[in-house]
Amino acid sequence: MQQYTTDMYQGMLAETIAIAGSGGTLINAYLARPLGPGPFPGMVLAHHAPGWDEWYWEAARRFAQHGYVAISPNLYYRLGHGSPEDVAAKARAAGGSPDDLAMGDLEGALRTLKAMSVGNKKVGIFGTCSGGRLAFLAACRVKGFDAAVECWGGRVVMAKEELSPNFPVAPIDYTAQLSCPLLGLFGEEDQFPTPAQVAQHEAELKKHGKSYEFHTYPKAGHGFFYYDKPMYRQEQAVDGWKRIWGFLGKNLGS
């Protein structure tokens, strides 16, 4: 984690770029990185169901502020363009972005970060809500991540009747393939995932001897990081971010 003091230079570059997503298709993505030669660790940000939106662009800049090169790919790129909320509604009507497509796009962001000259070749993945689910899934299915942060990933545990051609396998069933340490942050009052589902998720990690840290916050439900929504919980969010910086510093440091 970059610790700035008041006598240090600070600078950041943040812009929309194009990356090769699933199947090599060019998709747009938001990049934020500290200025300077680096080397900086990288972070892929898997956006949430409300879309590729301002919260995620701000989150990318937050990661850059803390010394990471962050890329958040637009996982809804193929649905057309409009306000993030309108495009997200279109994705919602389709039940979300198909898992295979999202994996390809997140892998594209990973490859872009690994190829950057300012990178330290270590890359993590972060996501909240359905993006938390995708972060965990990518950490299992895509090789090359060095750390994963899953924030309240709904539908990591899925009943058989929830499976479909777009979501053919429950992420929890990939646990044996998890290839990096995992940090999970959850709210005790959340219903997607419920505490029972989080316990099931944890039991599976334990069974397969995976490296993980789970923290479940009392008096917090779903989306407790979202400072622009009624679900925001200040104390829990501040502690959650501290844990993220500690976890990433340990696993992605040079």
Residues lying near other proteins in the complex (CB under 8 A): 49-50, 79-83, 86-87, 89-96, 129-130, 133, 154-155, 158, 162, 167, 189-193, 221-223, 226, 229-231
Q: In angstroms, what is the minimal distance from the CB of 199 to other proteins?
A: 18
Q: In angstroms, what is the minimal distance from the CB of 174 to other proteins?
A: 17
Least Cα distance to 21 among 122, 97, 128, 91 occurs for 97
Q: CA 220 → CA 51, 58, 129, 226, distances in Å?
A: 22, 22, 14, 12
Q: In angstroms, what is the minimal distance from the CB of 8 to other proteins?
A: 37
Q: In angstroms, what is the minimal distance from the CB of 165 to other proteins?
A: 13
**Closest CB to other proteins among 134 and 182?**
134
Cα separation, 166 vs 101, in Å, equals: 9
**Closest CB to other proteins among 95 and 253?**
95
Amino acid at 73: P
**Closest CB to other proteins among 133 and 210?**
133
**Closest CB to other proteins among 68 and 217?**
217
**Closest CB to other proteins among 99 and 146?**
99
Q: In angstroms, what is the minimal distance from the CB of 163 to other proteins?
A: 9
Chain centroid, CA 161 distance in Å: 26
Q: In angstroms, what is the minimal distance from the CB of 114 to other proteins?
A: 30
**Closest CB to other proteins among 27 and 158?**
158
Q: In angstroms, what is the minimal distance from the CB of 47 to other proteins?
A: 12
**Closest CB to other proteins among 237 and 252?**
237
